[in-house]
Amino acid sequence: MSGARRLLRSAAAVPVLFLVAGIGYRLHSRPLTAGLVDLLLVMVVAFRWGFIEAAIAAIAAVAALDYFFMPPIFSLYEENPQDWIASAIFLLLALFVSRFAHRLSSQTLAADQERTRLERLYLTGRDIIMMDRRQEIGAQLAGLIRDIFKADAVAILDGREPRMDKAGSGTVPEDEVRATYFNDAPETDLIAHRFMRVLRLGARPVGALYIAASSPDSYLDAKSVDAIASLAALALERAHSFTAESNAEAARRSEQLRSTILDGLAHAFQTPLATIQTASSGLLEIPHLGPTEKELAALIEGEASRLSELTGKVLRTAELADATLKVNYEKILLSKFLDDCRKSAAPILDNHPLRLACDARLRFVWADRRLLEMALLQLIDNAAKYSRAASLVTLRVQSTDSEIVFSVQNEGSYIAPQETLRIFERFYRSPDAQYRAPGNGIGLSVAKRIAEVHRGHVWAESELEAGTTFFLALPQIQKEA
């Protein structure tokens, strides 16, 4: 089709050049004037159609000048050798001017196309920033690329979600787009005007892009598609970041509201609980109570004590959730501190022996004594509740180059690997353990918060045979006594 078009253009230029030369002959123009007019026409052909058409027109111009102005007139034969030289010089000049004009035209066209591409890329980047983050980004992005670049079909595959958003009337080869992402194999088909790219953030693939555009007004090339792919990857990452940020903020507000409500309820429960405990204790002191009455009064006192203990935990949790919580560091003698922990843990061990093991090199630790004891008692309570009956619970203190590590180990319990991080979330209880012992999902979150305010951290390790070990690590702090 391109060769036939050039042939038609050349065929149209030849008679025009002969006609102009003929008119010059009839008007008795000089050969120089006719030659300049033909040279101008050759330049117009070069600007409008290209160098090949201009070269054919230059040959036709030489022939027309020879036919009408070089003796013998009305003949393509030239008698004077100087006329041959003049014709050759004119042809070379026409070819040179044609080449220059064609190159200038091509550069102008390329500059216009590049400017159009840059303008469209700018519009794409601008509109991506202005997209509605409350709606699906993939669908908006596909429609945006289709409209700006006049594409027949656009598809966006988000690697984090099992979905592909499409726009345009053209057919999208979904399997090929997915293969591009999974095989990391971009494709450029200039004949079919199809482009497939892997969307990347650095070296990490996050999705795939497909664009098909047959219209010459699309001005798409490989570099433009690469730039679009980079913008699309940033848009997807920005959308995911916004979603994660929104979810985190919603969770924070929900947690704050829940803590506020629980704190209020816990304070409201304290006075009636104290009244119930006092009344139940008084009932037990009344003489001549029957066995049934004594059993009921003891049941009321026991459950009221449990509810009072839970209320105290909720209050401590609300206190620890306060962002302004201050740590009152003091130098703690480990031997006495561990002995006090043993005494405080006696009521919650429930016939479990507690073994203490401390690194001989450790004598002191800098921490908030009240908070650290609270965290360790939570870990001991958790270890005792979920271990085998009367099995050993071990509280161990070790030292590393940068941390002091407290660990509480039990026997007979197991936590699945996917649960070892979630169990430290407030109010979360593992599905495998929530029916084995009563609980409320607060204790481990208390230990985690106490570690965090000390700039430390907590974690858990569990094995089927060895049991579960909870770790609380505090940074080494050296202070003068």
Q: What is the pLDDT of residues 48-62, one digit of tens each?
A: 777 778 778 888 888
Q: Are residues 65 and 99 in the same domain?
A: yes
Backbone phi, then psi, for 10, in 5-degree steps? -65, -40
**CA pair distance 407, 466, nearest whole angstrom:** 14
Domain count, the chain: 4
- Residue 230 CA to residue 125 CA, distance in Å, equals 10
C-alpha gyration radius of the chain: 44
Regarding whether 451 and 340 lie in a shared domain, the answer is yes
Angle between helices 31-48 and 81-129 (to 10 degrees): 30
State the Cα angle at 314 between 308 and 315, rounded to 5°: 90
Q: Which of 413, 409, 403, 423 is nearest to 473 (CA)?
A: 403
Same domain, 458 and 378: yes
Cα–Cα distance between 459 and 469 in angstroms, integer? 9
Q: How far apart are CA 154 and CA 209, in angstroms?
A: 7
| Beta carbons within 8 Å of 420's beta carbon, 6+ residues apart | 459, 460, 461, 462
Predicted pLDDT of residue 341: 92
User: Does residue 318 contact residue 259 with C-beta atoms inside 8 Å?
Assistant: yes
- Residues 166, 72, single domain; the answer is no
Q: Are residues 287 and 338 in the same domain?
A: no
Q: Has residue 125 been placed in a domain?
A: no
The CA distance from 367 to 332, in Å, is 7
H/E element holding 468? strand 467-475
Domain end residue (candidates: 201, 228, 245): 245
Residue 319's Cβ-count burial label (10 Å; 0-12, 13-18, 19+) is: middle
In a domain, 193, yes or no: yes
Whole-angstrom Cα distance, residue 189 to residue 196? 9
Q: Tell me the three state secondary structure of residue 429.
A: coil
Tokens of 122: 């700018």
Q: Angle 51-69/31-48 helices, nearest 10 degrees?
A: 160
C-alpha distance from residue 51 to each of 84, 102, 352, 430 (Å)? 24, 6, 97, 78
Phi and psi at residue 186, to the nearest 5°: -70, 155
Residue 433: predicted pLDDT: 54
Residue pair 460/466 in contact (Cβ under 8 Å)? The answer is no
Q: What pLDDT is attached to residue 326?
A: 79
Sheet holding 393-399, edge to edge: 354-358, 393-399, 403-409, 467-475, 457-463
Helix residue ranges per DSSP H, 49-80: 51-69
Q: Give the integer Cα–Cα distance in Å for 155 and 332.
A: 63
Ordered per-residue pLDDT tens for the chain, 481 residues: 456 776 777 677 778 777 877 788 788 778 778 778 877 888 787 777 777 787 788 888 888 877 788 788 877 777 777 767 777 877 787 777 778 777 777 777 777 777 777 777 777 777 777 777 777 888 888 888 888 888 889 999 988 777 788 888 888 888 888 888 888 888 888 888 889 999 888 778 888 999 998 877 667 788 888 888 888 888 888 877 777 777 666 666 665 656 666 556 555 666 777 777 777 777 777 777 778 877 777 788 777 776 776 666 666 666 665 555 678 899 999 999 999 999 989 888 888 999 999 987 888 999 999 889 989 998 998 888 888 888 999 999 999 888 999 999 998 888 888 787 788 887 676 655 554 555 556 778 888 988 998 999 999 998 887 789 999 999 987 654 4
Whether residue 20 is found in the same domain as residue 56:
yes
- Claim to verify: residue 471 and residue 339 sit in the same structural domain: yes
Residue 359 forms part of a structural domain: yes
CA separation for the pair 452, 156 (Å, rounded): 41
User: Residue 446 is encoded by which pair of tokens?
Assistant: 């208390």
Range 158-186 burial, b when 16+ CB lie within 10 A, else e:
bbeeeebbbbbebebeeeebeebbeeeeb
For 73, the token pair is 């007139």
Q: Are residues 233 and 266 in the same domain?
A: no
In DSSP terms, 472 is beta-bridged to 406, 458
**Quick one: pLDDT at residue 331?**
92
Q: What is the dihedral of CA 439, 443, 444, 446, to 10 degrees?
A: 150
Q: How far is CA 238 from CA 143, 185, 371, 453, in A?
A: 18, 24, 40, 31
220 and 142, same structural domain?
yes
Same domain, residue pair 150 and 225: yes
- Among candidate residues 245, 272, 299, the one where a domain is terminated: 245
Residue in the block written with tokens 């469209």: 120
pLDDT for the residue numbered 410: 92
The boundaries of the domain holding residue 457 are: 330-475
**CATH number of 457's domain:** 3.30.565.10
Q: Is 26 exposed, middle or buried (0-12, 13-18, 19+ CB in 10 A)?
A: exposed
The token duo for 262 is 């629980």
Question: For residues 179 and 157, what is the distance between their CA atoms, to the nearest angstrom?
Answer: 11
Hey, which residues does 211 pair with through a beta bridge?
154, 195
Q: Are residues 239 and 259 in the same domain?
A: no
Q: How confident is the model at residue 63, as a pLDDT?
A: 83
* Same domain (yes/no): 265, 302: yes
Nearest-CA neighbor of 236 among 163, 167, 146?
163
Cis peptide before 72 (omega within 30 of 0): yes
Predicted pLDDT at 333: 93
Which pLDDT score is estimated for 435?
A: 47
Domain boundary among 300, 321, 342: 321
Report the CATH number at residue 233.
3.30.450.40
